[in-house]
Amino acid sequence: MLKLLKPAPATPRAAGGTGRGSHSVRGEAAPTRTRPARVPAVAPLAAPAAGIALLQSNSLPALVQRELERMILAGDLPPGAKLNEATLADLLGVSRGPVREAFRALEESGLVRLEKNRGVYVRQIAVEEADNIYELRAVLDAFVGRRVAASADPDAVRELRSHVARMEKAATRNDVDGYLKANLEFHDRLVELAGNAKLLTTYRRLVNELRLFRRTTLAQNGVLPTSTREHRQIVDRIAAADGEGAARALHEHVMASRERMHKASAAPVRDTTTRKSR
């Protein structure tokens, strides 16, 4: 007779909404025993509770993993860079154990490569692999388009349009970084709207790996306007609840990006200067 009168926190242990690595599968019919919620009689205050939950779910290795992932995706640790255990541990103020555990996780997520007795390196994506990823993305995005167009939520459409507007604004300024960010968010939100959590994590994994590829694609002349136009078309098809059209538009958009990548990688890279992101 457990008295669960206590308003147990809505999410038992949930931390970090769609964040990576948090595989907290909600609603697992626990055959073992659900946690007895040790909270005392007093109703927990919201703010400290959040902090507590943060502390509870975030171990040192998880923190290190997140930080390293951020550094890699931000370009602070460029592809091919060697990650030194001791140095990183010192930098992050922990010992080597947690760093090593983070390395294992990052390898499985495809961001680094481990070589026994040699070290850990940020992965370098070959053109062929990037090509494979683009192909996969095209397939997944086509499915996404079909699904999202079927849902056809006016609010969602409005939100997507705002993302496209941000892209347009960045494009007129030739702000490649801003464009890239808006672009990523647009597609991420789109996949999220498809309502398949596993699809979302799969998609994010692929996009993360793709970000390791050298990003000279968008720097070409005339690419930004073209890409923007494609995005507008995608939203239009969704707004019209045209599933097949949205699927086709998304598929072609990704395949066009793939082509642009090939063009860019065939031609010599123009800006060889270290483009520090901001």
Single residue of 40, 117, 222, 266 touching a second copy by CB under 8 A: 117
Q: Which is nearer to DNA, 54 or 86 (CB)?
A: 86
Write the CA distances from 32 to 11, 20, 36, 122, 157, integer angstroms.
18, 26, 12, 40, 43
Q: Which is nearer to a second copy, 17 or 154 (CB)?
A: 17
Q: How far apart are CA 14 and CA 229, in angstroms?
A: 39
- If binding is defined by CB under 8 A, does position 270 make contact with a second copy? no
User: Which residue is it, tokens 């702000």?
Assistant: 175
Q: Which is nearer to DNA, 11 or 84 (CB)?
A: 84
Q: Which is nearer to a second copy, 1 or 45 (CB)?
A: 1
Q: Which of residues 40-79 bind DNA (CB under 7 A)?
A: 40-41, 56, 59-61
- If binding is defined by CB under 8 A, does position 12 make contact with a second copy? yes
Q: What is the DSSP letter of 241?
A: T
Shortest distance in whole angstroms from residue 30 CB to DNA: 12
Name which of DNA, a second copy, none residue 40 binds, using a CB cut-off of 5 to 8 Å depending on partner kind: DNA
The dihedral built from the CA positions of residue 225, 249, 234 and 240, taken in this order, carries a sign that is positive
Single residue of 53, 68, 83, 249 touching DNA by CB under 7 A: 83
> Are the C-beta atoms of residues 231 and 186 closer than 8 Å to each other?
yes
Q: How far apart are CA 198 and CA 204, in angstroms?
A: 10
- If binding is defined by CB under 7 A, does position 2 make contact with DNA? no
Binding-residue total with a second copy (CB under 8 A) = 78
Torsion of CA 254, 256, 262, 268, to 10 degrees: -120
- If binding is defined by CB under 8 A, does position 99 make contact with a second copy? no
